[in-house]
A = this chain, B = another copy of it.
Amino acid sequence: MQHITQQEINVCAEYNKAKHPESGAIVMFSGDVRNHNKGQKVKYIDYEAYDALADKTIAKILTEAKEKWDLQYAECIHRIGKVGICETAVVVLVSSVHRKEAYDANRFIIDQVKALAPIWKHEFFEDGTSKWGANCDCASEDHEHLHHHH
């Protein structure tokens, strides 16, 4: 399991791994837990994954990115379990000769991981409710199930 971890992600260490003498550009994306979502105050998110398939899916996406762009390095690590506000849930690192490839590949990787990797967020709110999340780049109304914890 290379791309799924239950530990806190050491973002600096991941950045340092992306350093490469042939690379002029490193682009890093850090997906952090924020304190609000659709008007609700978020306390933390508990991420669940189908670990084995999520890991394989991310590995495939990274391979695809390396086929599409000339990259010296591409990595994505997603944390599962309870992730607090400001903590990193997912990090994507890409190194390339010029910056265009690094931006494009980085964005491709996170878009694909969010769309395809079997990982789910369970948001816990300040008011004691919780909700299994849908990715909300969509502006549409929320179809998710809302239920109270006792």
Contact = CB atoms under 8 A, between A and B. Distances in A.
Interface of A: 11-12, 15, 19-36, 85-86, 97-100, 102-103, 106-107, 110, 137
- Classify the secondary structure of A's interface with B: mixed
A20 B97 contact: no
Contacts of A19: 32, 86
Number of copies: 2
A145 to B, nearest CB: 22
A148 B26 CA distance: 31
Contacts of A32: 19, 23-26
Given A107-B103, A110-B99, A137-B98, A25 B15 contact: no
